[in-house]
Amino acid sequence: MLNDTHNRPLRDLRISVTDRCNLRCNYCMPLPKYEWIERREILSYEEITRMARLFIGLGVNEIRLTGGEPLLRKDLERLVAQLSGLGGLKELCLTTNGLLLAQNAALLRAAGLTRINVSLDTLKPDKFLRITRWGELSKVLDGLSAARHQGFSQIKINSVVERGVNDDEILDLIEFSRQNGFAIRFIEYMDVGNANQWQSDKMVPKKEILDIIRARYPLGEPARADGSTPSVDFRFADGGGDVGFIASVTEPFCSGCTRARLTADGKLVRCLFSSEGHDLKAPLRSGASDEAITEIIAGVWRFRSDRYSDERLEAMNSAQGYRPAQHKKIEMIRLGG
Ligand SMILES: C[S@@+](CC[C@H](N)C(=O)[O-])C[C@H]1O[C@@H](n2cnc3c(N)ncnc32)[C@H](O)[C@@H]1O
Ligand code: SF4
């Protein structure tokens, strides 16, 4: 078994298929200018599939496609079909902003995608526009309903809660999810990348969100769906689905993190808060054998010692405090959230 220095196995892989995005969410990529990855540097579907096969050989059993906006990549269902044909995966998932989901849901389902997460932070069209700079909320809602009709095993809504922006909509988002049979997960606003100029007072802690929810809906006991998932989930006591939390800031889960990330230009990144990745594209494109590339991946994982969120919390609780600007991190849009 391949374990890192904290005894964490390699179990899941997030693949960013593009750094391009059709939105500019202010918590992710608010910059007017950004240095995009050049097209020729972006891995082809065949290259991604080969990498995925090697990761599966090392123990990965769940792959999530992300970005940027993954549905901007042409014929994404072709990649989904190739990955699902590899075998060995328990889940093959997609995280999307949903804008292009309506026209793609059926193709993705037929190609073997099992789960979809759709990012949705507000149910108000004008606020959606403010958060995303130029997004049309109705398209996301159409995408969600198209996905529901396709019978995916799970459709989850991801909501990043930002103080003073959408913390007044927590119960509305839950009601919307319950009525439509979606699971919902609230994500603490994180200091990913540097472009969002994160400040801790913009982050609404899980405990505060949970108190708001509990005052309206009785909840069962918390549970992690499996050992490695970052989300802590609660069932509604009335059986109306569940609600989860990704509390990376206030309740870090580094000790159970089994996730590797592959950027669109083939860099292996060990942590969401890393400042750099390890290039796999060069060996891939210069004819390295499967064994040689597998050994590179295994070598990176064996030396993985990252526990950024644990350290952030320690710093936040220290006399000096935590200074996000001092840590250079890869932008979320490039890394794949
Ligand atoms: C980077 S996006 C990529 C996939 C797709 N474009 C989307 O928005 O779902 C993946 C997830 O990261 C989340 N995200 C981006 N910036 C974040 C931040 N600063 N804190 C918490 N979550 C963030 C988004 O809300 C989204 O759910
Ligand atoms: S990658 Fe996702 S979260 Fe980031 S700007 Fe695009 S839609 Fe928003």
Ligand closest to the CA atom of residue 66: 1
Hey, is 35 helix, strand or coil? Answer: coil
Q: Measuring from atom 24 of ligand 1, which residue has the nearest CA?
A: 119
Can you tell me which atom of ligand 2 is nearest the CA of 332?
4
Give the mean pLDDT of 244-256.
Answer: 93
Percent of the chain with pLDDT over 90: 83
Give the mean pLDDT of 209-218.
Answer: 96
pLDDT digits (tens, 9 = 90+) for 153-209: 889 999 999 999 999 999 999 999 999 999 999 999 999 888 888 888 999 999 999
Q: Measuring from atom 4 of ligand 2, which residue has the nearest CA?
A: 28
Give the mean pLDDT of 284-307.
Answer: 97
- Residues with beta carbon inside 6 Å of ligand 2? 21, 23-25, 28-29, 67-69, 97, 119, 332-333
Instruction: Look at residue 227 and tell me whether its pLDDT is greater than 60.
Output: no
Can you tell me which atom of ligand 2 is nearest the CA of 69?
1
Instruction: Look at residue 9 and tell me whether its pLDDT is greater than 80.
Output: yes
The 3-state secondary structure of 211-262, one letter per residue: HHHHCCCCECCCEECCCCCCCEEEEECCCCCEEEEECCCCCCCHHHCCEEEE
Instruction: Look at residue 210 and tell me whether its pLDDT is greater than 90.
Output: yes
**Cβ(104) to ligand 1 under 6 A?**
no
Give the mean pLDDT of 120-124.
Answer: 98
Cα–Cα dist 213/125, whole Å? 23
Can you tell me which atom of ligand 2 is nearest the CA of 132?
8
Instruction: Look at residue 32 and tell me whether its pLDDT is greater than 80.
Output: no
Tell me the residue type at 101: L
Instruction: Look at residue 327 and tell me whether its pLDDT is greater than 80.
Output: yes
Q: What is the pLDDT of residue 196?
A: 86
Instruction: Look at residue 35 and tell me whether its pLDDT is greater than 90.
Output: no
Cα 218 to middle of ligand 2, angstroms? 32
The radius of gyration computed from the CA coordinates of the chain, to the nearest angstrom, equals 19
